[in-house]
Copies of this chain bind each other. A is one copy, B any other.
Amino acid sequence: MSTRVRDPKRTRRKILEAAYKEFYHHGYQGGSLNNIVKQAGITKGALFHHFPGKSAVAYAIIDEFLLPAVRKWWVDPLTNAEAPINAIKEVFKRFRQRVEKENPENGYVTNGCPICNLAAEMSPLDEGFRTRLDNLYSTWRGAIADALKRGQASGKVRPEVRPPEEAAFLVSAMAGIAATGKTARQLSHYQASIRATNRYLEAMRA
Q: How far is the CB of A66 from chain B (nearest CB, A)?
A: 13
> Given the complex of chains A and B, what is the CA–CA distance between A22 and B169 in angstroms?
30
What per-residue 1/0 map shows which CB atoms of A52-72 lie under 8 Å from chain B? 000000000000000000000
> Given the complex of chains A and B, what is the CA–CA distance between A27 and B166 in angstroms?
30
Are B120 and A121 in contact (CB-based, < 8 A)?
A: yes
Are A192 and B165 in contact (CB-based, < 8 A)?
A: yes
> Given the complex of chains A and B, what is the CA–CA distance between A164 and B130 in angstroms?
34
Are B195 and A165 in contact (CB-based, < 8 A)?
A: yes
For A131, the closest partner residue in chain B by CB is B183
Q: Within the complex, which residue of B119, B121, B181, B196 is in contact with A180, where a contact is CB–CB below 8 Å?
A: B119
For A30, the closest partner residue in chain B by CB is B29
Stretch in contact with the other chain, from A88-96, A147-155, A171-179: A171-179
> Given the complex of chains A and B, what is the CA–CA distance between A168 and B164 in angstroms?
24
Q: Residues of A with Cβ closer than 8 Å to B?
A: 25-27, 29-30, 110-112, 116-117, 119-121, 123-125, 130, 133-134, 137, 164-166, 168-169, 171-177, 179-185, 189, 192-193, 195-197, 200, 203
